[in-house]
Amino acid sequence: MTGIGKILALTIILETGEIGRFAKVGHFASCARCVDAQRFSNGKKKGANNAKCGNPYLAWAFVEAVNFAIRYSPRIKRFFDRKCARTNKIVAFKACARKLARAPAVPSMIGRFLSIRACGCIVSLSALLCGCSASPLLAFRQNTPAVVLYPISETSLRDGRADFRLVLCRLFEERNPYAQGWTCERALYRLSNEPTPTPASDLPASNGARTVVFVPGILGQCIEESVKPFQTAYPRLEALGYKVYYVSVSGRSSSTANARELRDKLAALRAERRQPLTLVTYSKGTADALEMLVAYPETAGWIEAMISVAGVVSGSPLADRFDDLYERLAKRLPFPDCAPGDGGGVRSLTRETRLAWLASHRLPLSVRFYSLAAMAPAERISAPLRPFHYLLSDIDPNNDGQVLITDALIPGSTLLGYAAADHWAISMPFLESKSALRAFVDKNDFPRDILIEALLRYVEEDLVR
């Protein structure tokens, strides 16, 4: 709509809330202070009401929209000039603002954003949260487990980077027409201590006999009708013979609550398909799945492998810094069909919570774990994630805008590498979806379909080996 861009649209969306509470479009215009405050009785004017009734931020947004609209819309400019000639400039501005507020495009625009789980509200958190950030991300604490930072070779992790790179590179050669200019060297960073690969072998043909279950991250349920992790790869994987499932869990609940919900849904799936499952967990989905495996030991017998993609394993300093503020804001966001759950989604991702959990629990030895982290420089981070990337860079510039690469590795897992992508680009195909976030996610190009196929083929070969 002329005069209303991304920022003003988000302001209108957040300040409007549930559009259904306005019975008529005129009521919405009144809330935006775009109509006179008058008092009538028996059809006669009895005076004026409080002129400050209504939402001042909506009023500002529509007046600001008029400033742009009269520059770029000849039709609105003519209307504005006619009003100026008859009255004055202030009245002309308000008259134009009333027209914009009453225009069918505005309520329909808001309804469209809300109908897809208010995706734009997620974007607004970047500015809202980072604008309030003046103190360090991590506070001084004594009630935290002792941790160390060692090279991979000195830890319990198995280094599979070189062998996974071989699988990925061969898949790029095999699917070159679909790579869209990407190469394996561009898609996967090569850090200085990456080992030498084992002797080359042909890319194993997928037997496609495995059942793959995708588990989303925080707020995943809120946008799943528009976009899911690796969604564009599902048809290709099914064509290869994989049985692909997506498990929806609460987008705003704690990992403890989601562990129980995930267990119940996998139990139902297990009753349908008796073969072992391969979990592909994204972001907070990793923490949810790890808690499930420990809290419900029987699930370890259902799962043969778990692949964590940009998983929040050791927590994120962002969660520690913004926990309380985020929870207060998240409860105000208009997320239809996305229940708040127990409200502990962000708190369960704090370093304090995750490190304490890792220190007091042991993962089952029967499940093979794999970790793929992500990182990118600021110019390769989408705009909504960029403020968070800068904040995390005070600790380590090697992050994906949400998680540090050191916090994305499961203890005792096989490290597969570091993808050259931000936290969304590595798995969420926003540009190929109908999500409203398409307008804001400007660095979403990444060969996700090739990546997930390479991950499954590597794990398949590794399990046999």
Percent of the chain at pLDDT > 90 equals: 48
Does residue 11 contact residue 68 with C-beta atoms inside 8 Å?
A: no
Does residue 393 contact residue 319 with C-beta atoms inside 8 Å?
A: no
The pairing of beta strand 158-159 with beta strand 188-189: unpaired
Q: Which residue has the tokens 């139990």?
A: 267
- Interatomic CA distance for residues 300 and 290, integer angstroms: 10
pLDDT for residue 330 is more than 60: no
- Interatomic CA distance for residues 319 and 344, integer angstroms: 11
Does residue 372 contact residue 403 with C-beta atoms inside 8 Å?
A: no
Kindly state the helix (H) or strand (E) to which residue 291 belongs, with its residue range.
helix 284-295
Q: How many CB atoms lie within 10 A of CB 22?
A: 17
pLDDT for residue 49 is more than 90: no
On the CB side of 71, CA atoms within 13 Å amount to: 7
- Interatomic CA distance for residues 290 and 284, integer angstroms: 10
Domain ranges of the chain: 6-115, 130-464
- Reduced to 3 states, what is the DSSP secondary structure of residue 326? helix
Q: Which amino acid is at 403?
A: V
Residue 140 binned pLDDT confidence (cut-offs 50, 70, 90): confident
pLDDT at 110: 47
The closest of 446, 456, 426 to 238, measured between CA atoms, is 456
- Interatomic CA distance for residues 29 and 451, integer angstroms: 49
Write the DSSP symbol of residue 233: G
Residue 138 binned pLDDT confidence (cut-offs 50, 70, 90): confident
pLDDT at 97: 85
Least-confidence region, from 98-102, 381-385, 442-446? 98-102
Percent of the chain at pLDDT > 70 equals: 84
Residue 433 or residue 437, greater confidence:
433
pLDDT at 114: 42
Residue 115 or residue 247, greater confidence:
247
Does residue 197 contact residue 163 with C-beta atoms inside 8 Å?
A: yes
DSSP letter string, 115-173: HTT-HHHHHHHHHHHHTT--S-SS---SSS-------GGGSS-EE-HHHHHHHHHHHHH
Q: How many CB atoms lie within 10 A of CB 337?
A: 10
Q: Of the spans 72-86, 190-204, 447-461, which averages the highest pLDDT? A: 447-461
pLDDT 10s digits, 389-426? 999 999 999 999 999 999 999 999 999 999 999 999 99
| Mean of pLDDT values over 343-368 | 94
pLDDT 10s digits, 178-230? 777 899 999 999 998 899 877 655 655 656 578 999 999 998 998 898 899 99
- Reduced to 3 states, what is the DSSP secondary structure of residue 201? coil
Write the DSSP symbol of residue 404: B
- Beta bridge partner(s), residue 306: 279, 369
**Domain at 130-464, CATH homologous superfamily:** Alpha/Beta hydrolase fold, catalytic domain (3.40.50.1820)
Residue 108 binned pLDDT confidence (cut-offs 50, 70, 90): very low
pLDDT 10s digits, 5-36? 767 877 887 787 766 677 777 778 888 887 77
Q: How many CB atoms lie within 10 A of CB 40?
A: 10
- Interatomic CA distance for residues 452 and 276, integer angstroms: 19
- Beta bridge partner(s), residue 44: 41
pLDDT 10s digits, 258-302? 999 999 999 999 888 888 999 999 999 999 999 999 999 999 999
pLDDT at 322: 81
The closest of 155, 56, 58, 154 to 102, measured between CA atoms, is 58
Two structure tokens written together for 271: 């009753």
pLDDT at 175: 85
pLDDT at 331: 55
- Three-state SS sequence of 35-94: CCCEEEECCEEEEECCCCCCCHHHHHHHHHHHHHHHHHCHHHHHHHHHHHHHCCHHHHHH
- Reduced to 3 states, what is the DSSP secondary structure of residue 232? helix
pLDDT 10s digits, 142-178? 777 888 787 888 888 999 999 999 999 999 998 876 7
Task: Name the average pLDDT for the chain.
Answer: 84
pLDDT at 332: 55
Does residue 21 contact residue 11 with C-beta atoms inside 8 Å?
A: no
How far are the Cα atoms of 294, 343, 351, 365, 431 from residue 357, in angstroms, in the given order? Answer: 10, 19, 10, 17, 36
pLDDT for residue 309 is more than 70: yes
pLDDT for residue 119 is more than 90: no
- Reduced to 3 states, what is the DSSP secondary structure of residue 329? helix
- Interatomic CA distance for residues 411 and 423, integer angstroms: 21
What is the pTM (predicted TM-score) of this model? Answer: 0.74
